[in-house]
Amino acid sequence: MTIQPNSIEARDKAYQLHSYTNARALERDGSLVIDRGEGIYVYDVNGNKYIEGMAGLWSVGVGFGESRLVEAAARQMAKLPYYHTFTLRSHGPSIDLAEKLIQMAPVPMSKAYFTNSGSEANDTAMKMVWYRSNALGKPEKKKIISRIKGYHGVTIASASLTGLPNNHRSFDLPLAGVFHTTCPHYRAFKQENETELAFVERCAKDLEDLILKEGPETVAAFIGEPVMGAGGVIVPPAGYWDAIQKVLRKYDILLIADEVICGFGRTGEMFGTTTYSLQPDIMTLSKQISSSYQPISALLINENVYGPLADESAKIGTFGHGVTAAGHPVAAAVALENLAIIEERDLVGNVRALAPKFQSRLKALESHPLAIEARGVGLIGALELKPREGFSAGQLGPKLLAIMLEKGLISRAIGDSLALCPPMIITESQIDTIFDTFEASLEAFAKQLAA
């Protein structure tokens, strides 16, 4: 891409540091600047049209340009553009949203607590777990177990929970007291001749062995995504979550369900917790809660968590945690309207109805000579490319990604896996367009490699 002097692309690379980006590569190549969006499509500043196959960052459930969300934001901005929930203060949108989320919860929950991002939600969950342990007179019970390839955010605490090396390298992470157990990716982590059932049993045993090694009296919580997203769309094997939860119950360890990607319909149920029969003590929510039209996230905590926390706040005199924009009235109003759209238009039903088509077309790509595995559930999936001589791990994915972009499809390369997570408003014909483009991109890449 040739970048003209003083263009918006030139100004972008001159003034902005980007997330998850090689900064020197950005200086050299510049970025794709998106100008507007409509439905499942976005348009760059040059007028080029793309299918947003990742719904932004796994998050724009109702699609781009939804006028009801714009109007909800404008109404609230005019009425009360900002207020907080500190020190016995509140406002209508946060109250309404808290009530709605508790009512929607797939398992009994006591209270909602608002933050601004999935990272902040998981960071806060970690602090709540520590606070609760102190309240219970168990100051040694503070360790938290996550999983290799799990993704839980990028704050110091949530990045520690994340089990991806590039979120730790040069950041001096993870923090002490955070441990990572086996990733439930059967193909990648199975042992020779190990059945899927035996793999599940080993995952549970690895978790139990880690708990026993650290001391059950020191382990407070386990955090996991129902389906791992940014680790490569890793769908747990049958029986995995039952086996894991059995271990957690045995040692009185809290379960934190990170629903930041799975929540609000992505798996074909309102929550991944329902899809995989989880019984979490804490749920963290973000992304599709507002379709990312406004930054907002939430924690739902059950009485087992809330009771000790409330007692400790009474003892100290305050729950000394909070951020300025948490439960922001405009963000909460948009989230409420977004959830209303999801329910009124039965977008979860749309996911459920179209999932067989989506997963069938994805699975068909697995037979391509460049592919090694297709994975997915609901309207989320990934195709992983085979290792290839002359290429290091993680080099093939970005090359295929660039070809897909040229053909008008935005995906995301997670190493050598190409992920898809389109808006939940997608139609059957649009799914065909996505996978026709994916197939054409694979063919073009194969010719490029053979040249």
What is the pLDDT, as a whole number, of residue 252? 98
What is the pLDDT, as a whole number, of residue 161? 98
pLDDT tens profile 80-91? 999 999 999 999
Strands 111-115 and 297-301: antiparallel
- With cut-offs at 50, 70 and 90, classify the pLDDT of residue 5: confident
Question: If you average pLDDT over residues 137-149, what whole number do you get?
Answer: 98
- With cut-offs at 50, 70 and 90, classify the pLDDT of residue 293: very high
CA–CA gap between residue 195 and residue 203 (Å, rounded): 12
- With cut-offs at 50, 70 and 90, classify the pLDDT of residue 451: confident
- With cut-offs at 50, 70 and 90, classify the pLDDT of residue 1: low
Token reading at 179: 């441990």
Three-state SS at 179: strand
Domains of the chain: 32-62+346-450 (3.90.1150.10), 69-344 (3.40.640.10)
Nearest to 341 by CA among 264, 246, 405: 264
Three-state SS at 251: coil
pLDDT tens profile 222-253? 999 999 999 999 999 999 999 999 999 999 99
CA–CA gap between residue 204 and residue 239 (Å, rounded): 10
- With cut-offs at 50, 70 and 90, classify the pLDDT of residue 4: confident
CA–CA gap between residue 181 and residue 219 (Å, rounded): 13
DSSP element (H, E) containing 299: strand 297-301
Question: If you average pLDDT over residues 116-141, what whole number do you get?
Answer: 98
Question: If you average pLDDT over residues 263-282, what whole number do you get?
Answer: 98
Tracing tokens 């209508």 back to the chain, one arrives at 92
Is the predicted pLDDT of residue 122 greater than 80, yes or no?
A: yes
- Residue 293 DSSP class: S
Whole-angstrom CA distances from 85 to 74, 101, 119, 328 are 21, 17, 20, 9
- Residue 21 DSSP class: S
Spacing of C-alpha 28 from chain mean position:
30
Mean pLDDT of the chain: 97
Tell me the CB-side half-sphere exposure of residue 147, using CA atoms within 13 A: 30
CA–CA gap between residue 139 and residue 149 (Å, rounded): 29
Among residues of the chain, what percentage have pLDDT more than 70?
A: 100
Tracing tokens 């939804």 back to the chain, one arrives at 66
What is the pLDDT, as a whole number, of residue 125? 98
CA–CA gap between residue 160 and residue 332 (Å, rounded): 28
DSSP element (H, E) containing 392: none
Is the predicted pLDDT of residue 20 greater than 90, yes or no?
A: yes
Cβ-contact 419, 233 below 8 angstroms? yes
Cβ-contact 204, 167 below 8 angstroms? no
What is the pLDDT, as a whole number, of residue 2? 74
Nearest to 385 by CA among 360, 413, 358: 413
For residue 251, give every residue at least 6 positions away whose Cβ sits within 8 Å of its Cβ, in sequence order, or none: 208, 211, 216, 219
The residue ranking higher by pLDDT, 4 or 261, is 261
Nearest to 259 by CA among 61, 31, 434, 33: 61
CA–CA gap between residue 167 and residue 169 (Å, rounded): 6
CA–CA gap between residue 131 and residue 129 (Å, rounded): 5
**Inter-axis angle of helices 67-79 and 329-344, to 10 degrees?**
150
- C-beta atoms surrounding 392 within 10 Å: 9
Three-state SS at 130: helix
pLDDT tens profile 343-384? 999 999 999 999 999 999 999 999 999 999 999 999 999 999
Question: If you average pLDDT over residues 246-268, what whole number do you get?
Answer: 98
The dihedrals phi and psi of 32, each to the nearest 5 degrees, come to: -85, 115
